[in-house]
Amino acid sequence: MFKALRIIFLLFILVNVALATLLTKWRTTDWKQPLRVVVYPINADGSEASRRYMADLSDDTFAPIGVFMQLEADRHQLQQAEPIRIRLGPPVADLPPSQPTTPSMLANMAWSLKMRWWAWRHDKVNGGKPDIRLFVLYHDPEQHATLPHSAGLEKGLIGVVNVFADRSMAGSNNMVIAHEMLHTVGATDKYGADGLPSYPDGYAESDRTPRFPQQHAEIMAGRIPLSEQRATIPESLAEVEIGPATAREIRWRE
């Protein structure tokens, strides 16, 4: 009897969690109100360069992401002219849980649960509760030639974003932040194992003639295709678009 009650109780919890997740997804992608997005900066390597860079951050640092979303919403004829309101939150001293080194379904699920618990514990911001929380980890480019993989979690609406503490890379940093933010509302990656944009969904202008070189990057592909074997990283969101496939995933289009 006790075992049956325990199973019923666990099923009840799982059903409620599933329903809450579904309702959250529908609420955050009906685009009837601007989504509240907060960026929490983290000094990922403890460097002085990252500390100085973070000291100069402000709401204006991330304003281009809001402008990009507004312009793309207009281009896709979304009724909500202001899809997001993005602002800077307080710095976070602790590092988030490390992503699994050998990804698997169970490992990813365990990390997702840890990440959601960690984010809840570090979600200390004045004003209204954010819809999307982006934990942005800054790294000194003099110490790091490459960065760990970033991630955006649809369950929990959380992003873990690795970027460089370098003024010259502020534009490309914002592109990475926007990319992971869109993951949280249902957008999927549109590049292959080689990192090159996948045709046609990973091309901002898939019907362009001639096809190469493309002029813009699709946000979820992250690179501007120059040929079938070459692509370059955009310098800013001015060189990026939300393509039709991504627009459908985030419910901007039917």
The reply to whether 130 and 224 lie within a common domain is no
Q: Tell me the backbone φ, ψ of residue 144, rounded to 5 degrees.
A: -135, 115
**Can you list the positions of beta strands (E) in 8-157?**
35-43, 84-88, 132-139, 151-153
Q: To the nearest whole percent, how much of the chain has pLDDT over 90? A: 76
pLDDT in tens, 199-233: 999 999 999 999 999 999 999 999 999 999 999 99
Same-domain status, 159 and 195? no
In a domain, 179, yes or no: yes
Same-domain check for residues 142 and 237: no
pLDDT in tens, 168-187: 999 999 999 999 999 999 99
CA-angle at 95, arms to 89 and 99, nearest 5°: 115
Q: What is the pLDDT of residue 106?
A: 87
Which residue in 39, 34, 23 sits closest to 159, CA to CA?
Answer: 39
Pair 237, 219 in one domain: yes
Both 214 and 124 in one domain: the answer is no
Residue 179 and residue 54 share a domain = yes
63-121 pLDDT tens trace:
999 999 999 999 999 988 899 999 999 999 999 999 998 878 889 888 998 999 999 99
Lowest mean pLDDT among 11-15, 99-103, 126-130: 11-15
Separation between Cα atoms, residue 124 and residue 61, nearest integer Å: 20
Q: Domain check: are 108 and 194 in the same one?
A: no
pLDDT at 124: 81
Total structural domains within the chain:
2
**Are residues 200 and 134 part of one domain?**
no
Distance CA 113, CA 21 (A): 13
Could you tell me the pTM of the whole model?
A: 0.90
Instruction: Please identify, among 186, 210, 230, the residue that sits at the C-terminal boundary of a domain.
Output: 186
* Domain membership flag for residue 8: no
Q: Is residue 20 assigned to a domain? A: no
Domain that holds residue 247: 189-254
pLDDT for 19 = 52
Within-domain flag for 176 = yes
Q: Are residues 199 and 177 in the same domain?
A: no
Of the candidates 158, 186, 214, which is a domain's last residue? 186
Is the pLDDT at 147 greater than 70, yes or no? Answer: yes
- Is 227:212 a contact under the CB 8 Å cutoff? yes
Structure confidence at residue 24 as a pLDDT band (50, 70, 90): low
199 and 249: one domain? yes
The predicted structure's pLDDT at residue 152: 96
Distance CA 140, CA 163 (A): 9
Give 254's pLDDT tier (boundaries 50, 70, 90): confident
Mark whether 181 and 112 lie in a shared domain: yes
**Strand pairing class (231-232; 240-241):** unpaired
- By the 10 Å C-beta count (0-12 exposed, 13-18 middle, 19+ buried), 177 is classed as buried
